[in-house]
Chains A and B, each alone.
Chain A
């Protein structure tokens, strides 16, 4: 209700009495439900907190102060039957139906000032928006300004060609250079059309910016809670692009969807299912096999200095009570066997199995004997 500014329809609760339709007959919905914090003990976690669409306000060249310059995410809401306009096409400034709409690709993507990566889904959803509009309003004029059109994958190029056939105008090599509000309220769009080999201009009633898919707010803090790390672009990082695409460096912590990088719904779902399977494989047997090459604390030697605790990249070390004293303890299920703690411990209380001091010294001796 708050999001759309409209009262809730309450069909699920009250039904539609004049039509003899009742509310949920199974009484499955709690209408007085409240937010609450629940503490759960779990064996694995999947982080799937998605993405954030970039705000239009960074792009001063596109007149972001104009209410008729909107992001694709806002446009998606305008097109939605449950959105603020009930699915009716209206321009935000005066509620009139726009006759000409310009859509701009790669806003904030493929741009060293913001995000060097391609957001991957915008080319296709721009075509989707255009197709929905053109099928609903055949006389509407739609201009799609692309750097280039990226339609990789099954059925996508066909979708593109079909959208063109509907009369949607595609301008390539044409990331818009400016949008200016004219005194008559029109938005003057300037771009280059490399197929025409000429600069072009257009007076539009509305401009839709396909702003970049960004990592969600606070993803770094969230990741560090689970010792999952972010890559250069700020998305959570998988262990290996090909071999471990949904695993993070933290054991038992998996990622799926746009929090790992820009992707569409089919890809997000495939990843989510992969993460779910990986989780199930870990949790369902009820037992975990862990590596033999991990570190162990000899708690009788540990002086409780705590040096090792912050050093462990996998937060495997905790201080726990042992014989009435606080001592370091390494959780074997979390230890990745990096050895950092063993080399740092001033009391030599940590044994790195497989790489003990004795073993390493013996190796050095053997090598230097000759």
Chain B
């Protein structure tokens, strides 16, 4: 990327082991993509104008462009709508690739700061999105202070955290799991 102008992508830096890593992380149909573009025409990421939308991500992944995919934050903009999975004629399951790239990014701590925030919330409260002060607003609306989820049931939450501690989160979480 550094040589020959800003936008030039240097294929010499491409890394086949990254393709293999992504395959192992769940994107095992990746190489069947023929770049037909069907996913790109339906993906909300593309419609929202993200630079690396799904079609481009699949191609970059196939080329083994590790640095580009880990530096760019587009994969975190995926809405998990699964439209791409349903529509892909080659059964590539592009959403599985998004997840695989996210997994690869987590391993090398290459994700936007707010993903950690979400992860911490998920561990602590069982909710990735945990807006502060929502108890008051719930009360005003006549709802119980806490929703009937893991937040309301300490026992369940502890069990759930125990399960999480037995996952790869134990190794990679950038916050204490206590």
Interface residues of A (CB under 8 A from B): 100, 141, 143, 160-161, 164-165, 167, 169-172, 190, 193, 195-203
Contact = CB atoms under 8 A, between A and B. Distances in A.
- Report the 9 A-B pairs with minimum CB-CB distance, sorted nearest first: A202-B11, A195-B59, A203-B12, A165-B31, A195-B35, A200-B9, A199-B8, A198-B9, A200-B11
A195 B16 CA distance: 18
Interface of B: 3-5, 7-12, 14, 16, 19, 31-35, 55-56, 59-60, 62-63, 90
Contacts of A167: 16, 19, 31
Nearest to B34: A161
A164 B32 contact: yes
Interface of A is mostly: strand
A145 B12 CA distance: 14
Contacts of B7: 198-199
B60 to A, nearest CB: 6
Contact of A164 (B34, B55, B60): B34
B11 A201 contact: yes
Contacts of A164: 31-34, 62
A344 B47 CA distance: 72
B152 to A, nearest CB: 48
13 contacts: A100-B12, A164-B34, A164-B62, A167-B31, A169-B14, A169-B62, A195-B55, A195-B59, A196-B9, A201-B3, A201-B8, A201-B12, A202-B10
Given A161-B34, A164-B31, A169-B63, A197 B16 contact: no
Contacts of B32: 161, 164-165
A165 B32 CA distance: 6
A196 B60 contact: yes
Contacts of B33: 164
A195 B90 CA distance: 17
A193 B31 contact: no
Given A165-B32, A199-B8, A202-B12, 8 more contacts: A164-B31, A171-B11, A193-B59, A195-B59, A196-B9, A198-B7, A201-B11, A202-B11
B62 A197 contact: no
A197 B68 CA distance: 13
Most buried by A among B16, B33, B35, B62: B35
